[in-house]
Amino acid sequence: MVGRRCCAVAVLVFALLVGAASISMSAQLGDPAPELKVSTWVKGGPVKLAEGKGKNIFVVEFWATWCPPCKETIPHLTTLQKQLKDKGVVFVGVSPEDPRTVGAYVAKMGSKMGYVVAVDDRAATTRAYCQAFGINVIPYAFVIDKEGRIAWHGYPLGGLGEVIEMILAGEYDIRTAELYKRTYQLIARYFDIATQQLNPNEKKGLAALGDRIVGLASETKNALFLNNFAWAILNEEQIEERDLELALRAAKIAYDMSEGKHYGVADTYAWALFENGRGAEAVEMAKRALELCEDEEKKAELRKTLQDFEQKAGASG
């Protein structure tokens, strides 16, 4: 490798996924949302999903009083509930603990916990949502759209507000979201396997998995998604044996998908070309990335990359 790779586009954090990828799942986005089974409505409620169909968006978050990260999400959910209440969005926090414990906690929080709070009925709601989606962590949230479908699930601080706004604006597509979720899970599996020592059969399996990821990622029509996958292959230090051809294929599709108009995608493509021994083409693509970039700080990094490529290409020529 030559010089230092400048990451013009932030690589997606592939480790922040929908729970553990190894856990089996029996549900997917777009499925009808199960009714909430609650033993005690501690604050507000009762909330009946069926009664809100056609008029409400529901956010169901699973949490517990003993969970440190949950203390960070509570203020966020309270703020969102205040902002979105008049738009028909209803937030419900579901805890698996006993009613007295939850009640004492909620009373102490007062207005700082400004949404409906419930106690799960013998883990029935947890099984219907978290277990069905293979989730074994909290806090964790599910969004139910006005059609009564599970439209999104994820960490409450990971874009929840943006997703709700997209649903309200009619700009959210469940099929694309499901593609993202499935692809994220496969990417997690890919890098988990790629960082191990593999026998020939395992290498073939990993290559097939890479092909599947590129296929699914291409369906999302999101150039940055493929770009980040390619960049991660090129840069993940723990990978035992990089599939440079796969990185090049993903980078090229991303470049074509972006119509050659994104400097970060062009930069990744240039590096993929370079790592595959195509120095002259890498130089031309690095020039393209520099032409597209308007950020002076990034331009300095791109110029350094171009100079490194030119020197290496000249030396090999």
Q: What is the pLDDT of residues 103-158, one digit of tens each?
A: 999 999 999 999 999 999 999 999 999 999 888 889 999 999 999 999 999 889 87
The encoded tokens of residue 75 equal 């203020």
Which residue type sits at 49? Answer: L
Residue 95: strand pairing partners: 119
**Lowest-pLDDT range of 3-7, 27-31, 74-78:** 3-7
pLDDT value at 222 more than 90: no
The encoded tokens of residue 114 equal 């400004």
Contact 264, 9 (CB under 8 A): yes
CA-based R_g, the chain, Å: 23
Q: CA geometry: angle at 84 spanning 66 and 179, to 5°?
A: 75
* Confidence (pLDDT) at 155: 86
- CA 90 to CA 106: how far, in whole Å? 17
- CA 225 to CA 234: how far, in whole Å? 15
- CA 180 to CA 172: how far, in whole Å? 13
Could you tell me the domains of the chain? 38-154 (3.40.30.10), 177-316 (1.25.40.10)
Model confidence pLDDT, tens digit, residues 265-310: 999 999 999 999 999 999 999 999 999 999 888 899 999 999 999 9
pLDDT value at 15 more than 60: no
* Confidence (pLDDT) at 12: 30
4-13 mean pLDDT:
35
Buried b (16+ CB within 10 A) or exposed e, 262-273: bbbbbbbbbbbb
Percent share of the chain, pLDDT over 70:
91
* Confidence (pLDDT) at 270: 97
CA dihedral angle for residue 275, residue 261, residue 163, residue 187, rounded to 10 degrees? -20
Listing DSSP states for the chain in one string gives --S----SSPPP-TTS-SS-TTS-----TTSBPPPP-EEEEEES----HHHHTTT-EEEEEE--TT-HHHHHHHHHHHHHHHHHGGGTEEEEEEE-S-HHHHHHHHHHHGGGS-SEEEEESTTHHHHHHTGGGT---SSEEEEE-TTSBEEEEE-TTTTHHHHHHHHHTT---HHHHHHHHHHHHHHHHHHHHHTS---HHHHHHHHHHHHHHHHHHHHTT-HHHHHHHHHHHHH-TT-SS--HHHHHHHHHHHHHHTTT--HHHHHHHHHHHHHTT-HHHHHHHHHHHHHH---HHHHHHHHHHHHHHHHHHHHH-
The values of phi and psi at residue 182, to 5°, are: -65, -40
* Confidence (pLDDT) at 13: 29
If one compares 4 and 216, the residue with the highest pLDDT of the two is: 216
pLDDT value at 7 more than 70: no
Contact 220, 176 (CB under 8 A): yes
- CA 148 to CA 165: how far, in whole Å? 17
217-225 mean pLDDT:
82
pLDDT value at 3 more than 70: no
* Confidence (pLDDT) at 225: 80
Question: Measuring CA to CA, which residue among 161, 159, 283, 173 is closest to residue 219?
Answer: 173
Which residue type sits at 132? Answer: A
Length of the chain counted residue by residue? 317
Model confidence pLDDT, tens digit, residues 33-91: 999 999 999 999 899 999 999 999 999 999 999 999 999 899 999 999 999 999 999 99
Q: CA geometry: angle at 122 spanning 118 and 123, to 5°?
A: 75
User: How does residue 28 score in pLDDT terms, banded at 50, 70 and 90?
Assistant: confident
Q: How far apart are the first and last CA of the chain?
A: 17
Contact 206, 189 (CB under 8 A): no
